[in-house]
């Protein structure tokens, strides 16, 4: 079943708008991205031939501040996916109460089949193509799926060269040597762990000894596993795009991380049983962390999920129909726009450091992240209780109200 992520994003917005009786014009305003850019990217490949790639940059809303959102490289990138992610970024920044709006970018490509030199040419061409609509006070991209600090450095350098001066604040997720922030690499997983800790308190679940399953073992999944384990949780299952592994007594997280780094897969870790991604979602556990792709939890498998807490490290892993089933079955879903907001929060910290040229210690960054995430979780939890709704609807209502307040205070001009 092909599920459109943008339709999911609009469904969530529409449902929240109905509850808060949002003005019809403002509702339409929030349904529509402010700018959608599609660019053609001709690249000379290593074999001398020219190949043309397609890139996108979507700017959803900047009522609260410059657009903010990652750039992903993937063969299945679509414009609707990028529009959905840009929309969710608007809500994510509002929930964490940082002065940024929502944007997102992507290139349709298979980075695994490209050389480093081809990726550099593609990245720099993309940076050149979108350079007119990004900037430290306009739109600040960041890494996402299959991009990293390496690509961010290339983009910063390309943009800075075009401007004739170093502009570190044009992008976040950079290497430390050129204005990156300490704590950025682990920010998404650390932020998620703080949210899970707070959620566990609400349902009287002792996180020490709680069993955790994590679908997806990239950056977010890896650090989520590490930090939840440090809090005392028992990581019993993890998976990547090819397979999963399970041990009811608990996996050695550092051993799994090392094995994945060495082989590129989690399969084959000692004292583990191989399982599928679907089996992982349905495993007997206390906490489930979907950290892979969109639309993994659907109406077809939601009824079989046994976890008490589902913390969405990935963007859009749960469909609206599945959401209803999980809520009906008494599951606490920490929605993506809250659970994985640690990344954009520390990206915001990096941006502030770039603008002020004042760089902070790792301890300061993590302490500030914890304060932001705990406040965001409690703001969402209290809003959900006020409206007698699930956390996702609480997060949507909170975010929309904050964005609408900014729109109303600014006014519509001319």
Q: So where are the chain's domains?
A: 33-167, 187-339
Query: What digits encode the pLDDT tens for the residues 381-402?
Result: 999 999 999 999 999 999 999 9
Question: Is 379's pLDDT higher than 60?
Answer: yes
The answer for residues whose C-beta is within 8 angstroms of residue 316's C-beta and 6 or more apart is 5, 8, 9, 84, 85, 88, 294, 295, 336
Q: Is the pLDDT of residue 2 over 90?
A: no
Residues above pLDDT 90, as percent of the chain: 94
- Token pair for 115: 């050389």
CATH top-level class of 187-339: alpha beta
The C-alpha atoms of residue 336 and residue 399 are separated, in whole angstroms, by: 13
Task: Report, in angstroms and rounded to the nearest whole number, the Rg of the chain calculated over CA atoms.
Answer: 20
Contact partners, residue 103, CB within 8 Å, separation at least 6: 57, 58, 59, 60, 67, 68, 69, 86, 89, 139, 141
Whether 335 has a pLDDT exceeding 60, the answer reads: yes
Provide, rounded to the nearest whole percent, the portion of the chain with pLDDT above 70: 100
pTM, entire model: 0.94
> What is the mean pLDDT of the segment spanning 170-193?
97
Classify residue 302 by its DSSP letter. G
CATH code of the domain made up of 33-167: 3.40.50.10860
> What phi, psi does 43 have (nearest 5°)?
-130, 135
Structure tokens at 341: 């907001």
pLDDT score of 1 more than 80: no
pLDDT at 363: 98
For 182-240, the pLDDT digits (tens) are 999 999 999 999 999 999 999 999 999 999 999 999 999 999 999 999 999 999 999 99
| Residue 5 pLDDT grade (very low, low, confident, very high; cuts 50, 70, 90) | confident
Annotation marks residue 104 as catalytic: yes
Tokens linked to 316:
């859009």
Among 5, 25, 170, 158, which Cα is nearest to 79's?
A: 5
Catalytic residue among 68, 104, 190, 331: 104
Residue 308 pLDDT: 98
Tell me what pLDDT residue 145 has: 87
Looking at residue 315, what is its pLDDT?
85
59-107, pLDDT tens digit by residue? 999 999 999 999 999 999 999 999 999 999 999 999 999 999 999 999 9
* Cβ proximity of 23 and 95 under 8 Å: no
Partners of 4 in the beta sheet? none
Give the Cα-Cα-Cα angle 202, 206, 207 (nearest 5 degrees): 100
Question: What is the CA 212 to chain-centroid distance, rounded?
Answer: 20
């Amino acid at each position: 079943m092909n599920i459109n992520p943008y339709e999911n994003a609009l469904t969530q917005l529409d449902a929240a708008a109905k509850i808060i009786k949002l003005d019809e014009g403002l509702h339409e305003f929030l349904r529509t991205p402010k700018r959608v850019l599609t660019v053609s990217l001709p690249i000379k490949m290593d074999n001398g031939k020219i190949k043309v790639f397609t890139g996108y940059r979507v700017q959803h809303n900047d009522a609260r501040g410059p657009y903010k959102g990652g750039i992903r490289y993937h063969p299945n990138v679509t414009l609707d996916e990028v529009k959905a992610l840009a929309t969710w970024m608007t809500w994510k920044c509002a929930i964490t109460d940082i002065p940024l709006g929502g944007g997102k970018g992507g290139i349709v490509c298979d980075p695994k089949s490209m050389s480093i030199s081809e990726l550099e040419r593609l990245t720099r061409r993309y940076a050149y193509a979108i350079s007119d609509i990004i900037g430290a006070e306009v739109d600040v991209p960041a890494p996402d799926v299959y991009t990293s600090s390496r690509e961010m450095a290339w983009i910063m350098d390309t943009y800075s060269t075009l401007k004739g001066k170093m502009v570190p604040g044009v992008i976040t997720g950079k290497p430390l040597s050129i204005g990156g922030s300490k704590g950025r690499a682990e920010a998404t997983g650390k932020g998620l762990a703080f949210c899970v800790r707070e959620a566990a308190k609400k349902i009287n679940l002792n996180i020490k000894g709680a069993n955790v399953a994590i679908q997806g073992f990239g950056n977010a999944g890896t650090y989520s596993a590490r930090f939840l384990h440090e809090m005392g949780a028992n990581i019993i299952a993890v998976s990547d795009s090819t397979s999963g592994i399970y041990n009811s007594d608990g996996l050695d997280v550092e051993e799994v991380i090392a094995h994945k780094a060495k082989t590129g897969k989690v399969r084959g870790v000692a004292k583990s049983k191989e399982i599928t991604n679907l089996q992982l979602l349905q495993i007997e556990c206390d906490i489930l962390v979907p950290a892979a792709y969109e639309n993994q939890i659907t109406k077809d498998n939601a009824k079989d999920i046994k976890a008490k807490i589902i913390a969405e490290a990935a963007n859009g892993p749960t469909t609206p129909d599945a959401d209803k089933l999980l809520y009906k079955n008494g599951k606490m879903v920490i929605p993506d726009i809250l659970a994985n907001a640690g990344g954009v929060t520390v990206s915001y910290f990096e941006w502030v450091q770039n603008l002020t040229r004042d760089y902070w210690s790792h301890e300061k960054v993590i302490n500030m992240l914890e304060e932001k995430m705990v406040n965001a979780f409690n703001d969402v939890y209290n809003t959900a209780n006020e409206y007698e709704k699930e956390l996702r609807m609480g997060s949507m209502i909170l975010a929309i109200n904050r964005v609408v307040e900014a729109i109303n205070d600014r006014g519509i001009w001319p």
